A and B are shown apart, each in its own frame.
Chain A
């Protein structure tokens, strides 16, 4: 009876220690270890410490109990099970199965119910502790680690039923109090494990991304130092020789341009704030050796949706150049960024459109692609200007407000 108070305190302290161990440094420092491995280790420590506590409490109380022999026998089972469980839970195949946690719970329930053999009904009714005391919380905590929140709750229920049986359906205040703590511990551990597991997933993803990025950088260095130099050389020499060589040189030029664009730009990365770098979006159309991109050295940031629309408009303008001027025609893209807006100009050196034809086409409503560009820009709250004069090429200027 007198030991009931300190016992409650011990449960709380052990839980705090347990949570700290389950979510502590080893996991974050070494993502390879895994959250649950740390948690199982912490559970073994919890089991050993609570066993020590149970042994001390019971031995101190040994003269008062009705059947000291049963008490010692129960303690023996607890010692044996603690040893076995600490070993068994280190085996991933065992702890990830059902048998071990269920056996764990069964043994724990047996040791709790054994209190009926050890103590008299009278002493139990006055709030005497069960034989395993807080050691009995290890099994529901194991369930919490194994099956998260639901496991913790179910395990706590099992322990509650065993305790009610010991109290013969009339739980004492001490029992109720301890069970609330077990429920809480089960819930907290289950929840924390799930949370930590999620964090571990995020960390693993970040590590994977970082590895992919550095691998990409390594590849791009290799390609730059080797393949690209040879292709550039082939193009340079090839152009001076006769026969099929100039054609080969032209193919080398195309491959070189494609490879360069490939290594200098990955798929555009959306940043945390939802902005993307327009330059990255425009890098893939500028893979062709006939398309020349001029842009600032620093990122040109736009909301992802606007940037996509703008890039699509640029794509249409480039398609227009190909269609009207020629597949091999050069086109220049200039990206400019001011505090108020982003301006992208697509220019070609083609024959240009006479102003009267432009006006006539507009009047007849058959500007085709140009109209679709204008529409896209209007949707973005911006505008598209088309400047052209015969012999001066055509310029499509796309303005998007920030």
Chain B
């Protein structure tokens, strides 16, 4: 990806009107919309062919869910980032998408400029997050710390990460968090990003472990 070339973006949404509107907005903002898809399976196929920089992904999709599509795209295309653009109230799905490796999450009620900004940041590898997502992350880490069979093996948040996530979940912008904790904007970003990627790594490790165990079982039997 060179600097003068436009960012290559793909839009996945099962509602054609919405999908076209988002694609139009992104093209108007100077991005190259290199593909669109209306279901998860097609999204994986097309993404593999066109290798976009960013996939703007809805979560409620036919065939393969947005979470499943995210998982496969992230696994096969390490340079491609996924920005989830989804309706609010799909809490479990959003958390699963982050575990599957989505870089950012934006609600559909966000404005066009917020979307354009989020796509740009996602391409650069920066996390896009909402208070709702921060709440989900806090809940998930607490669940892992108390509910799991071997809590010490799961990922944990540092005190600073917890502090940052709590402020984000209470609606403070990254800028406000930075000011309150006397940190740089960049550091705040990194803390949230770490919290998200640790869950993804843990999830992927779990899947690998599961695959190995399942594979060993078949060999023995």
- Separation in Å of the B90 CB from the closest CB of chain A? 8
A267 to B180 Cα, complex, angstroms: 38
A233 to B112 Cα, complex, angstroms: 11
A224 to B18 Cα, complex, angstroms: 12
Give the contacts of A343-360 with B (CB-CB under 8 A).
345, 347, 349
A345 to B25 Cα, complex, angstroms: 36
Report which of A229, A297, A331, A332 forms a contact with B18, defined as CB distance below 8 A: A229
Give the one of A228, A334, A336 with max B CB within 10 A: A334
A294 within 8 A of B: yes
Task: Kindly list chain A residues whose C-beta atoms are within 8 Å of the C-beta of B134.
Answer: 294
- Given contact pairs A225-B14, A295-B135, A239 touches B21 in the complex (Cβ within 8 A): no
Say yes or no: B143 contacts A298, CB within 8 Å.
Answer: yes
B interface bracket (residues with beta carbon within 8 Å of A): 20 to 34
A228 to B90 Cα, complex, angstroms: 14
**Chain B at the A interface: SS class:** helix
Say yes or no: A296 contacts B15, CB within 8 Å.
Answer: no
- B-contact 0/1 string along A259-287, CB 8 Å cutoff: 01100100000000000000000000000
Say yes or no: B112 contacts A240, CB within 8 Å.
Answer: yes
The residue in chain A whose Cβ has the minimal distance to the Cβ of B147 is A298
- 14 inter-chain pairs at a CB distance below 8 angstroms, sorted by A residue, are A230-B17, A232-B108, A236-B25, A239-B112, A256-B109, A260-B89, A292-B171, A294-B132, A296-B140, A296-B142, A297-B140, A334-B170, A336-B135, A345-B170
- Separation in Å of the B138 CB from the closest CB of chain A? 6
A interface bracket (residues with beta carbon within 8 Å of B): 35 or more
Say yes or no: A332 contacts B109, CB within 8 Å.
Answer: no
A295 to B166 Cα, complex, angstroms: 11
- Given contact pairs A229-B18, A256-B109, A294-B135, A336 touches B142 in the complex (Cβ within 8 A): yes
Report which of A260, A296, A332 forms a contact with B136, defined as CB distance below 8 A: A296
Task: Kindly list chain A residues whose C-beta atoms are within 8 Å of the C-beta of B112.
Answer: 236, 239-240
Say yes or no: A233 contacts B17, CB within 8 Å.
Answer: yes
The residue in chain A whose Cβ has the minimal distance to the Cβ of B139 is A296
